[in-house]
Structure 1
Amino acid sequence: MEEKSVNKTNTNSYTFIFAIVMVVVVGSILAFAATSLQPTQYENMRQEKMQNILATVGVETDRAGAEELYKKYITEEIVLDYEGEIKEGVEAFDVDLAKEIKREPLEQNFPLYIAEVEGEKYYIVPLRGSGLWNAIFGYISLKDDVNTIKGAVFDHLGETPGLGAEITQEWFRERFTDEKIFDGSGNLIGVSVVKGNSSTSKDDNQVDAISGATITGDGVSDMISERLQYYLPYFKSQTDVKVANN
């Protein structure tokens, strides 16, 4: 009797081997693509960081022009310790705030950027805190009196679209312009995001909140006051502004 031929492509072993080969091939391609794109991704992140820092002092640019303008307007990059002293051997631009805030304050690095735009001096402080679902972060710049806000930029990792995610919008950021971070007695208050605040005063340490985004707004308030407190020793040494001893 004639033997029937077996189609090896229908066997379980063939399917198993084929699946392994495809996993290896696809994995290798993805790994190669990720490695190849890493320098480009890193450069995009650098340029976006420069864009955000510049935006706080009113210098708008696209990614392509960010580095040139950054070198033009950012005159100093320094890192402070907990006592407000300048630390040597640490590059401010390389400090990862996501990692720093997990350490004890005494061990943290506090990056600070100093800009000069049209003869005016500004101090730019990186921010990071917690929103409703994930981290929120950004930058805030202070005028030379280290009390008046020049501008702010905020971003997030996972806030709700149309609600907490609105912190990235220009109309929300503009609410912080010219707000004060100290009260009349020199105490660091920061700026609180308050629901229903319709006041046009820039001396009340408050801005109007985003409707339906209370927790995200509280996160913005908290990260501003929490981060700025660590810069008080340095600011006190640089200016005559009255700073409370916390």
Structure 2
Amino acid sequence: MSKPKTKSNSNAKTLSVALTLCLVCSVLVSAVAVGLKPAQVENSRLDRNKNILVAADLFDPEKDTNDDVAERFADFDVKIVDLNQGNYLSDEELAEVGIADRNTYDDSQAAKNQALSEDLGDNDPAGIGRKPKYAKVYVKEDASGNPELVVLPIKGYGLWGTIYGFLTLESDLNTIKGISFYSHKETPGLGARIEEPKWRAQWDGIQSYDDEGNVATGVTKAGNPKENWVDGISGATLTSRGVSNMIQFWLGEQGYKPYLDYLRKESGKSLEVSGDTQAMLSQPRQTTPIALQSSDKEA
């Protein structure tokens, strides 16, 4: 006569089956995650390259394919810049500062590494906390080896979080070719409109600096146009201010200005602005970034 099953034996069996099922599921999920990792990395790389080409006005989402992206991005050289000195780092110098590969270097991650970044303290108009000492830039050169297009990664705090994007300068290293934003937490229908082609198109042809090397552009309050500045987004005041602060920071001395000055010197260019444009830039302009208040709402 078989011994009757007790309640404790039944519970133990149920627990054993549940644990086994959890273990099997964990193994399967881990295997899938590992298997998908290369595809995720490739998709992330493709998205980044698309946004670089968008900022350089070299990508049409209506007709261009992934092959087009690969072909056009191949024209760009990936370089690492010392943001304080302005010069490029050689492979030997990269190894010395702890950067194993220029292509996989992530300056956003570097900003979290004390050895590869610096604390901005109170001098932080873009609201990024720490600035990487070295930045990855993308340069398309002409037949003579001089910069034809320079794509600069930019980031700064908007209304709800950090906005990430790219800014492209033309061969004079002053005229903006385009801009793109690929990651942000701005309000849909309001601040998120920074992604819209119509708003981004305003940046085309804007002058970054005046003859004295001062940053000469930014984003105005919506409905208050100013020459050489981009009109803000109605209903998204703080997002507009955040983008303005971001642009002024990265074009300034704390950002890429030492690098752009270095490029001009290397290529024999000077920072010249036409008389009409210079007269326009000499008009009174806002030069002090507006601090963002965490309690503010989109308005």
Could you state the TM-score of these two structures normalised by the residue count of structure 2?
Answer: 0.69
State the alpha-carbon separation in 2 of the partners of residues 49 and 27 from structure 1: 31
Compared CA separation, residues 193 and 20, structure 1 to 2 (3 A)? farther
Is the contact made by 2:159 and 2:239 (CA closer than 8 Å) also made in structure 1?
Answer: yes
CA drift at 1:7: 7.9
State the alpha-carbon separation in 2 of the partners of residues 10 and 160 from structure 1: 55
Other structure's SS at 1:112 match: strand
User: Are 1:86 and 2:96 counterparts?
Assistant: no
Is the contact made by 1:127 and 1:227 (CA closer than 8 Å) also made in structure 2?
Answer: yes
State the alpha-carbon separation in 2 of the partners of residues 7 and 223 from structure 1: 69
Aligned runs of 1:1-246 on 2, under 5 Å?
5-6=4-5, 11-60=10-59, 61-71=64-74, 73-74=75-76, 76-81=77-82, 82-89=84-91, 90=94, 91-102=101-112, 103-104=117-118, 108-116=133-141, 121-183=148-210, 185-199=212-226, 201=227, 203=228, 206-229=229-252, 230-237=255-262, 238=264, 239-241=269-271
Range moving further from structure 2, 79-88 or 9-18? 9-18
Is the contact made by 1:155 and 1:167 (CA closer than 8 Å) also made in structure 2?
Answer: no
State the alpha-carbon separation in 2 of the partners of residues 4 and 196 from structure 1: 86
State the alpha-carbon separation in 1 of the partners of residues 17 and 216 from structure 2: 64
Compared CA separation, residues 7 and 66, structure 1 to 2 (3 A)? farther
Paired letter, 1:38: K
Structure 2: tracts of 5 or more residues without a match: 95-100, 120-130, 274-299
Paired letter, 2:87: E
Is the contact made by 2:108 and 2:132 (CA closer than 8 Å) also made in structure 1?
Answer: no
Other structure's SS at 1:234 match: helix
Residues 96-148 of structure 1, C-alpha deviations (whole Å, 9 max, x = no match):
13223442178611222122589981111011122222221111101122221
Residues 20-49 of structure 1, C-alpha deviations (whole Å, 9 max, x = no match):
222211111111111001111111111111
Is the contact made by 2:107 and 2:132 (CA closer than 8 Å) also made in structure 1?
Answer: no
State the alpha-carbon separation in 1 of the partners of residues 258 and 87 from structure 2: 8
> Alignment length, in residue pairs?
236
Structure 1: tracts of 5 or more residues without a match: none
Compared CA separation, residues 193 and 32, structure 1 to 2 (3 A)? farther
Quote the RMSD (CA, aligned, Å). 2.9
Paired letter, 1:183: D
- % of aligned pairs identical? 31
CA drift at 1:150: 0.4
Could you state the TM-score of these two structures normalised by the residue count of structure 1?
Answer: 0.83
CA drift at 1:191: 2.0
Other structure's SS at 1:6 match: coil
CA drift at 1:190: 4.0
Range moving further from structure 2, 113-122 or 158-167? 113-122
State the alpha-carbon separation in 1 of the partners of residues 25 and 171 from structure 2: 55
Range moving further from structure 2, 213-222 or 80-89? 213-222
State the alpha-carbon separation in 2 of the partners of residues 49 and 9 from structure 1: 57
State the alpha-carbon separation in 2 of the partners of residues 118 and 194 from structure 1: 41
State the alpha-carbon separation in 1 of the partners of residues 201 and 251 from structure 2: 19
CA drift at 1:227: 2.0
Compared CA separation, residues 220 and 117, structure 1 to 2 (3 A)? farther
Is the contact made by 1:77 and 1:111 (CA closer than 8 Å) also made in structure 2?
Answer: yes
